[in-house]
Structure 1
Amino acid sequence: MDRDAIEEMFQALGPVTIKRMFGGKGIYHQGRILALEVDGEMLLKADAQSAPDFEDAGCRQWAYDGKQGKPVKMPYWSIPEAAFDDPDEMALWVRRAYEAALRAK
């Protein structure tokens, strides 16, 4: 995903900073990481409070293969398909991600 597409996706929050990381990109707003782009897929940050919303929307949690092949779940979730066609829906999900970022220590 190019810079313009990422900025458009997160426009409801205002300016974002995009940094290369993990072979992908980290998306930051006001110094807090709220999303990752990994293998061309955008993943939004969630926590114990917001993860159930992502799960209820049919999203999947990102995991990578850790040591000994065991999956390691990370606090990032896929974005509901409906959000890609509806800017108001996307705004709701990116705000949830930012709220989770604010709650993170």
Structure 2
Amino acid sequence: MSTDSEFLAHARDLFADLGPIRTGRLFGGTALYVDDAMFAVIFGDALYMKADKPLAAEYADAGSVPFQYDTKTGVRIIPGLISLPESALDDPDEAMFWARKSMVPARKAATKRTKAKQAKK
């Protein structure tokens, strides 16, 4: 599934205050990165944010749901990717509120990956 270029541009606009955003492929969607930290993923017309357990609970309280997809053996849920609250899609201030929160677990995961790569050398 390819990402709609207009939706990607909209996401870049929403999160522009985080700094330069680069993209990459992830699970058939488009991952959004600031530095080496993947903080969001676009799947179709939905935007999912990086979350740890406590942050996922905050997102759930705002009406967000975890990313899920169908497999041969049933539905697979990815609890670390939670939908951006729908109201934030049209509100840059709210979008940045959530993005800043998602950058915390995103940076932790990036640091963990970097340390693991260095340990292999």
Normalised to the residue count of structure 1, the TM-score between the two structures is: 0.87
Amino acid at match of 2:9: D
- 2:15 matched to which residue of 1? 10
Per-residue deviation, residues 26-62 of structure 1 (Å, max 9, x unmatched)? 1111111111111221111111121111000010111
Instruction: Give 2:68's match in structure 1, choosing from 53, 63, 71.
Output: 63
* CA spacing shift, 1:78–1:24, aligned 2, 3 Å: same
RMSD: 1.6
Q: Considering only CA atoms, is the larger Rg found in Structure 1 or Structure 2?
A: 2
Distance (Å, rounded) in 1 between the aligned partners of 2:37 and 2:49: 12
Gaps of 5+ in 2: 113-121
Q: 4+ residue stretches of structure 1 with deviation over 4 A?
A: none
Distance (Å, rounded) in 1 between the aligned partners of 2:18 and 2:45: 22
- 1:45 matched to which residue of 2? 50
Matching of residue 73 in structure 1 with residue 77 in structure 2: yes
* Contact 2:63/2:85, CA 8 A, preserved across alignment: yes
Amino acid at match of 2:55: S
- 2:96 matched to which residue of 1? 91
- 1:19 matched to which residue of 2? 24
Distance (Å, rounded) in 2 between the aligned partners of 1:58 and 1:6: 19
Give 1:67 deviation, angstroms.
4.5
Give 1:65 deviation, angstroms.
2.2
Distance (Å, rounded) in 1 between the aligned partners of 2:44 and 2:87: 21
Distance (Å, rounded) in 1 between the aligned partners of 2:51 and 2:72: 24
Distance (Å, rounded) in 1 between the aligned partners of 2:92 and 2:81: 20
Gaps of 5+ in 1: none
More contact order relative to length (CA 8 Å, sep ≥ 6): 1
Identity of aligned residues (%): 34
Aligned residues: 104
- 1:28 matched to which residue of 2? 33
